[in-house]
Amino acid sequence: MMNGIHGWIELSATVIEALAVAIICSAVLVGTIVYAAEILSRRANDGSYTNFRRRIGRALLLGLEILVAADVIRTVALEPSLQNILILGLLIIIRTFLSWSLILEVEGRWPWQPAKREEIQDSSSRPVTPFGSAKR
């Protein structure tokens, strides 16, 4: 009975990790195609590169959060030893630092700082697409 549960938990964590990788890869691919199409059609402007970086940054943030969830499931449910929990803690610290760095890079503010009014008004007036860019 326990082997069946452990198998399902392992499979769940693996599926969650695959989801994170798929999100990151598809966002990079779509973002690159959109950016390249703007350049090739000569519609690229000063904001094109910034939008490209934001798309990639948001996908990386989402992917990192999903990867943390998979690590927590795998560690807590399958192998809750002190060594594995310490390794999980280190991974979470590293990924949190990466997330903060990405938020600073993408949004120009620390995660604990409130969003600028322009960002709040701008994002609330446009629908968001699956990869974080808003339709114009």
Return the pLDDT at 23. Answer: 94
Which of 52-56, 85-89, 108-112 is predicted least confidently? 108-112
Tally the domains of the chain: 1
* 111 in a structural domain: yes
Q: What is the full DSSP assignment across 77-105?
A: II---HHHHHHHHHHHHHHHHHHHHHHHH
* 39 in a structural domain: yes
Is the distance from CB of 66 to CB of 16 less than 8 angstroms? yes
* 118 in a structural domain: yes
* Residue range 22-53, pLDDT digits in tens: 999 999 999 999 999 998 998 888 888 888 98
- In percent, how much of the chain has pLDDT > 70? 84
Its domain, for residue 119, covers 2-124
* 134 in a structural domain: no
User: How many angstroms separate the CA atoms of 135 and 38, rounded?
Assistant: 15
* 77 in a structural domain: yes
